[in-house]
Each structure stands twice: as C-alpha cells, then as structure tokens.
Structure 1
C-alpha cells in the first residue's frame, strides 16, 4: 500500500464503523429477515425437512401430472450437476423463479425478487463463493456492451458520457459510482469464472413484472441494502448501510465474517417450506414439457 493512501483508508474504515454503530443504536430491530417482496413460502421454521435438493428427491412423483413430473425430474437432475447445498449460510439463485434465497443449512430465512439474463444472454448455472458486499461500486463495462453502446457514447457524446459517469481507462471502459451506475449502489464481492455479478440496479420498476429476464446475464436483486444487511448480519441494518453509502460515495468493501457459498441454478420445480410443489416457467426453453405446467396455471413465474 502506498503510504499516502493509508491515512485515507483508515479514515474511511473508521467512518464506516462509526456510522454502522450509530445506526445500530438508533435501530436495534434490524430488518434482515426478508424483503418486502419476499416469496410466499412458510416461515423459516420449515414444515418440510431437508435442503431443496433433498426435498425434491423425497417427492412422491406418482401423485403428479406428467408435466409436473418432468419439471421435478429435470430440477433434480440440475441439482446433481451442482455442488450440494452446504451446512452453513448460503445463497440460492433460482433462475426460472426470478428469486434469490438466503439459507441457513436447510432452512430458508429470506427471499428477494431477482432479475436474470435474457434468453439471448442467459445467466449460467454454477457454484461460487461471495466474500462480502461492495457499496458504490465501479462498473467495468464488458467488451460486448462497450462495443454495443458505451464506446460510441464516450467517443461521440462526451457530455452524456460525463453525465452518466462513463470513462475510458487504457483499453477498457468503466462507469463511476453514482445514481446512473448500472450496478446501482451495492454488489456482492463475488468473483467467478463467468463474471456474473449479483447487484443492485437503477431500473427498479422492472421488479414489478412477473417475468424478469432482462439482463445481459448478471443477477439484479431487489431491496439491495436489506439484502446486504441480511448477509452481513447484526449490528448492520438496511438503514445503516444506506446511510454509509449515501454519506460517502467512494467505493467501500465490507467483508463477511466467513465466505458465503452461492449456488446459481435452473430449477423449474421446488418443494416449498410448507410442502407445496412450486412450478416455474421455463424461461430459457430448456425443458418444454415442463413449460406446459406453467401454461396451465400451476406455477408461479
């Protein structure tokens, strides 16, 4: 670390700690259980035992119709291709459900609405590890998006580029933190081979739509500060994180006490906490037979 930057970093860390402590005192009941848009599943005291994979494996498929059986079988096969759910706290992104859920072992403790990749730019399925959250992130514009629009904006419309925060650094394009940033005000510190991010978005109205496949492949989460607070845990709250982000627009990293596993999967069927079978639309047309169940009104998409 360069000597001249050390005092600044220490001051920033102290500032964050002070704001978090003040917010925790002012708001002892931190809202970290579930977002206002949580799924209609049962309470965290799950009625049905087992993690999502085990629940599907134990399902009595004989009582299901053909389309529901196909969806359940396809989803169970997807689970077999991924790392098994871990025993501690972990995140599950279910692409067809447009949801992100926080689990503690087999118990789902919160769920948020999500936006996933379009059919032409699908979100991949994989497992990874998140190390923390980043407030006011920079956006490193992917080469494909730079070629599609950003490069032209920077070259031909410098006023618009400045207004939207786009800059060229060497041979890459970046977007400064701010209200127009495509990552919003928060993203997970989540390095992975696919460069898939889990982050906020300035396009909040899209969360009101039932089918939410709008991105270039990354995952956008509703209620970003509530989401981050749930992952960080007490004394952090939604409001304390929002205060930190708004009082200091510099990029800030807050590490988790322990790294958090993340599973991004494609499951058109799941057994909910109350034992009901939930079916979801086949947004990427990977299992057309299962999609007929959604068309029949048996699923939530």
Structure 2
C-alpha cells in the first residue's frame, strides 16, 4: 500500500529530528552538565520544553516507557541543569552535529528553503490536545536555517507522536500492550523493547495475556486478524490526525519539502548518524514517491 502523505513526510523528516537522540554531541554536552547516563539525557532534553515537570507527567506523555525508568531520570535531572539550560544544550548539540556532517552546508539554499517550508508546516501542525507539540511550538525560533529545520521537524514529530498516543488510548492499548502489538506487527523485538523501555517479563506476559483474552493475540504471540485490524487502525488514526496540518500546508509545498529533505535524511541514515535499527522503531525508506 502507498503511504499517506502524513506518513511519507514523517519518514522523510524523522532522521533530521532524530539527530538529537544519537549525536555524540548531545550526550557529551549533558555529561558536562552533570546528567548521569544516556537515558537521563534523553528524558531531560526531550521533556525540557515542558519545564521542570515530575516523572508522572513525563511517563504519561511519553507513554510507553516503564514508570520506574522515567523516575530514575526525572526529577533528578533538574538538579543538574534547568530546562532552559537543556533547551540551549540540545540546540548546540544539533548545531555541532550538523556542521560536522560530511558535505554539510547549513547555510546553503536547500537547507534555507527546507527550513522555510518546514517552519510553515510546523506552524500549521495541530497542537490542541498535544502537550509535547504545544510545548515545543511555544519555544522561540533559532536564527540559523539548519536549527530552524530541526525545531520544525521536532514540532511536527511531537504533534504526530501526541496524536499517536491518542490513537493508542482510543484503541484500549496500554503502554506495554502498545509495544507488544508493535513488536508482533513486525517492529523491534521483545528483547529490544524490554532493554529500551524496561517492562519486565511478567509485565510483558500480563499485557500479552490480556490481548489474548481480547482475541487480539495468539498464544504464540502472533496478531490475530482482529489484532492486525486494531493495530492498523491505530496507524491509520495517527496518519489521519497528522494529516490535519499537512492538508492546510498543501500538496505543492509538501512535495517540495519532501524533495529537499529526502537527500539530507538519506545521507544521515547512510552515514549511520541515526541507526536504521533503533529502539524508536523509526525506519527509513529511501524510495522517493512517484514523480520525484
């Protein structure tokens, strides 16, 4: 099946946003501030637009991380650095990573035009009922085009992600069940998700048993027809909710943004700056849509 416009643009823009999670510059910078470990760096930097919030709110908004995993990082992270410091830190880290990338031209015409288009798309992205998107949209825009592009992709990504959480809630999938069904649908394995989300064997088993009782999963961990249908409905709803902003953005600008960012994201993935097999379950599709 052909991806929807919303899904296609998510795949194209995600690698540029994801630089912040995988660039060594981010971890180096947060280590210098005193934060302990990669996960504290991740939770603090991603949650920083929300302010110095507690672990309960971060767990609720991020959705599929085990509460104890979040609680090991938040609120302790705020004792090492304020959210304002971390907002500056993550921008500086992205700046360093992009400038160091082979062949990078942060001030070049393609980046400038992509930044202009992406900012407009981000300003149209829905934020109602989307806390992470709203918090990022409230931040001041940086001056440099490559940082404008990064902030725009972040707003767009979090708007889609907040909508995805809404779709999971509406489908009656708990945080752990969201991972179980995604894994069964061909996403990262149970072992990868347990390592990076920290749900125990007992919790994973309990989530699976409830899905089996609902007729969504077999005893062998395979999605039933009903399970496949439910999982597909989550993805379709996610796309439909994200499409609200892209519809206002328009076909011509969406096609141009895709054309400009696709080679940048492709180069990022080819260089391994963002690994193709990652715990965010983000996958890169280098095949351009018809007409590109």
TM-score (norm 1): 0.26
- Which structure has more helix as a fraction of its residues? 2
Q: Which has the larger radius of gyration?
A: 1
Higher relative contact order (CA 8 A, sep 6+): 1
TM-score (norm 2): 0.27
- Which structure has more strand as a fraction of its residues? 1
